[in-house]
Amino acid sequence: MAWEQVDWIRAAAGLGAGVAVGFAAIGAAVGEGYAAGRANEIVSYRPRLAGEILKTMLVGQAVAETSGIFGLVIAMLMLFAPASGKPMLTAWAYLAAGFSIGLSAIGCGIGAGLPAGGACLGIGRQPGASGPITTLMLVGAGVAQSTVVYGFLIALLMLFKQLPEVLTFPRICGILGAGFAMGFGAIGPGIGVGMAAGQAVYQIARNPDNMGLMTRTMLVGQAVAESAGIFSLVVALLLIWAS
């Protein structure tokens, strides 16, 4: 029995939702696990700092979990979106939305976990600098999450854009290309930005008085790494507009 158009759209919504939340869970879990591993490393030989380390670990893990939550939100929107009255291109848009948010969340989830792990190591080395270390961790991890916001934006555009009724191969490729461009294009920047933050957070324990200098250096490096994600965002927007 041939499927009706609404069945194809519902099937694509289910597949897109699985891609969104499944891939998003990878990055968040790896980033959180890295932070937990570093926390245990410190607690093993400095148990008196267990309370401070646990607090820092949980705050860092909460930031890393944000990328997974973005994937969950897109998945839920797709699962409960109406399928009737939608053009066939909607099915491809759902798949593209899943790849956009799911893939972008991989890099950002991992990247946000790196400064959390670095903060645990830094506090273990210099407990008196826990305040500046935690502050820099939050700044660095927040910047590391920026490209998943781009992926979330592209996914929302896919879900709510008024799509044309006529289904053509170039339009399918344009929609999928936008999802792939943003999804894959966010993996590297997310991890790279997190690497810069992780090292800055850890090394500030050597000399907390240089926090201002290290923060500026970190942000400049993160901005350069972030540029690749912005290129991907621009290309994705152009592909959506052309479709």
How many CA atoms are closer than 13 Å to the CA of 159, on its beta-carbon side? 26
10 Å Cβ neighbour count for 1?
4
Domain around 210: 5-242
Look at residue 1 in the predicted model and tell me its pLDDT. 35
CATH code (residue 119) = 1.20.120.610
Question: Which whole-number Å values give the CA distances from 127 to 50, 117, 178, in the listed order?
Answer: 11, 15, 46
Eight-state DSSP code of residue 206: T
HEC profile for 70-125?
A: HHHHHHHHHHCCCCCCCCCHHHHHHHHHHHHHHHHHHHHHHHHHHHHHHHHHHHHH
Look at residue 238 in the predicted model and tell me its pLDDT. 95
- Number of folded domains that form the chain: 1
pLDDT tens string, the chain, 243 residues long: the values are 346 888 899 999 999 999 999 999 999 999 999 999 999 999 998 899 999 999 999 999 999 999 999 999 999 999 998 888 889 999 999 999 999 999 999 999 999 999 999 999 999 989 888 889 999 999 999 999 999 999 999 999 999 988 888 888 999 999 999 999 999 999 999 999 999 999 999 998 888 888 888 899 999 999 999 999 999 999 999 999 887
Eight-state DSSP code of residue 208: G
Look at residue 143 in the predicted model and tell me its pLDDT. 93
> Which amino acid is present at 213?
L
CA 17 to chain CA centroid, Å, is 16
Strands (E), the chain: none
Phi-psi region of 240 (alpha: psi -120 to 50; beta: other; left: phi over 0): alpha
